[in-house]
Amino acid sequence: MGHIHRRKLLKGAAVGMAAGAVAAPSVVRAQMPVKWRMVTSWPKTLDALHGSAEAMCQRIEKLTDGKFQIRAFAAGEIVPPLGVADAVQNNTVECGHTLTSFYFGKRPAWAFDAGVAFGLNARQQAAWMHHGGGKELLNDIYKKDNLVAMPCGNVGVQMGGWYRKEIKTVEDLKGLKFRIGGLGGIIMTKLGVVPQQIAPGDIYSSLERGTIDAAEWIGPYDDEKLGFHRVAKFYYAPGWWEGSAQITTLANLAQWQALPPAFREAYEAAAAEQTLSMMAKYDARNPEALKRLLAAGVQVKQFPRPVLEACYNATFETYKELAAKDADFKRVYDAWLPFLDESNRWFRICEAGLDNYRFAKAIKRT
């Protein structure tokens, strides 16, 4: 998932209510509903993302018999998409719904909450967060910024993007003008890629005109809506720059602590439910979208193994550099890496053992 350019969001900034107004403290009075605002990093068209935030808010309201009401605002309605963390931290709004690797420049360690290159897949990420110490470790870092964080969704492994020409060798990456942001972009510069920051609404025309050679966005279900398949026919897999893309809900720490316990319970349960449900929705919708894209003539390709190999090496080189520069990054990386390796060894034996056999069979049946 690439950075969403601020420019795109500023367009929508006038739409929202009371932009910049600081959230009043949620004093709980008998019979008075607590009202929160949740700003998301997503336009409403990304219904699996923004829709999940809305579903979370609806569940919380129903769980509390209407006593805890959270209204979700799409990107740009109150703050721009990359302004979510600041808005929550500064108490402009009480909570947000975002991808924490958007804030890589501000807090590199937060990227482990979202998912990093060649990192944990969606199930492994949930295991690390909920039963492997990840949530506690990351919240120890978030609290420095007056934030409480918890997972509230996952997008899974994304596609590796749309390319006008095939990527056959590592050499083909040199000089490639690729729309990608954040950590993935930093890693790829080591291989000669020239990362491009382009707003979602401008990717199509940039690809069409050849201003860029390639662009990554999300996966079949979301990509199809933007029509990239009409201007770039090679659709590569996998998006190795995120083992999965976990979506996080951030709450302002003081606001969180002021909540009655049952409201915190409702928030936590609803966030966990959406972690499952968002991934399930993508897993249900992506195959249908992929089928339509294939029917439209899209050529799905896998990155050649030497390309992955070069990217993998550049990735772990980058991690070492970041760990040397940033203490929080090092602290999380040192806990995360052994979990990754042990988890991979188990998944390879059991889950992959059966999955790989089954997946190949499905290709044959049709």
Alpha-carbon radius of gyration of the chain: 20
The angle, 0 to 180 degrees and rounded to 10, between the axes of the packed helices 134-142 and 122-131 is 70
For residues 144 to 163, the per-residue mask of contacts with a second copy, x marking binding by CB under 8 A and - elsewhere, is ------------xxxx----
Contact residue for a second copy among 27, 131, 136, 295 (CB under 8 A)? 131
Contact residue for a second copy among 308, 330, 331, 335 (CB under 8 A)? 308
Is residue 26 a contact partner of residue 36, using CB atoms and an 8 Å limit?
yes
Q: What is the nearest approach in angstroms of a second copy to the Cβ of residue 128? A: 7
Residue 187 in contact with a second copy, rule: CB under 8 A = no
Q: What is the nearest approach in angstroms of a second copy to the Cβ of residue 280? A: 4
Q: What is the nearest approach in angstroms of a second copy to the Cβ of residue 163? A: 15
Please list every residue from 191 through 250 that binds a second copy, using CB under 8 A: 219-220, 237-240, 243
Burial grade of 216 (CB within 10 A; 0-12, 13-18, 19 or more): buried
Is residue 324 a contact partner of residue 316, using CB atoms and an 8 Å limit?
no
The smaller minimum CB distance to a second copy, of residues 26 and 92, is found at: 26
142-148: long-range contacts at Cβ-Cβ below 8 A with a sequence spacing of 24 or more? 142/110, 142/250, 143/253, 145/85, 145/89, 145/107, 146/89, 146/91, 146/252, 146/253, 146/254, 147/85, 147/88, 147/89, 147/250, 147/251, 147/252, 147/253, 148/250, 148/251, 148/252, 148/253, 148/256
For residues 262 to 301, the per-residue mask of contacts with a second copy, x marking binding by CB under 8 A and - elsewhere, is x--xx-xxx-xx-xxx-xxx-xxxxxx-xx--------x-
Please give the size of the binding site for a second copy, defined by CB under 8 A: 82
Q: What is the nearest approach in angstroms of a second copy to the Cβ of residue 193? A: 18
Contact residue for a second copy among 129, 207, 215, 259 (CB under 8 A)? 129
Token output for 33: 């509903």
Please list every residue from 4 through 43 that binds a second copy, using CB under 8 A: none
Please list every residue from 336 through 365 that binds a second copy, using CB under 8 A: 340-363, 365
